[in-house]
Amino acid sequence: MEFLFPLVLTIHVLAGLGIVGLVLMQHGKGADMGAAFGSGASGSLFGATGSANFLSRTTAVLAGVFFVTSLALSYLATSRPKAGGSVMDNVPAQTAPAPKAPDAPAVPAPSGDAPNAPAGSKAQDIPK
């Protein structure tokens, strides 16, 4: 079923390009004026009026194909299963514990008493 979306998308793009090409190849309403002065429309591949009917019918068929592929693409795009969760859900769990930091030398905690303070420090000068 995964091959269906790119296939329909390719048909959709080709139909769109075909519509653009066929519309550019068609003669406008003002082109009939040039045929009145002998532009040689009767010697064309489709005859004097066959070109207009063939190109307009082909354009209509391609427009129908474009419409159907548009609906199919919108259905296929919305009916895809949603990928739920986070990117981190796919990460394997860590099995080894994290390495411990090296033991730091023990530093005595400072106490509130002044007897451990060096001589001449501010702690001895402050009266209680």
Can you tell me the distance from the alpha carbon of 124 to that of 128, in angstroms, rounded to the nearest whole number? Answer: 10
Q: Would the pTM count as exceeding 0.75?
A: no
User: Does 117 have pLDDT greater than 60?
Assistant: no
Structure confidence by residue, pLDDT tens digits, 74-91: 999 888 776 667 777 777
CA dihedral 11, 12, 14, 16 (to 10 degrees): 160
| Tokens matching residue 105 | 């030398």
Can you tell me the distance from the alpha carbon of 53 to that of 66, in angstroms, rounded to the nearest whole number? Answer: 20
Structure confidence by residue, pLDDT tens digits, 11-47: 999 999 999 999 999 877 766 565 566 555 554 555 5
- 10 to each of 5, 7, 58, 73, how far by Cα in Å? 9, 5, 19, 11
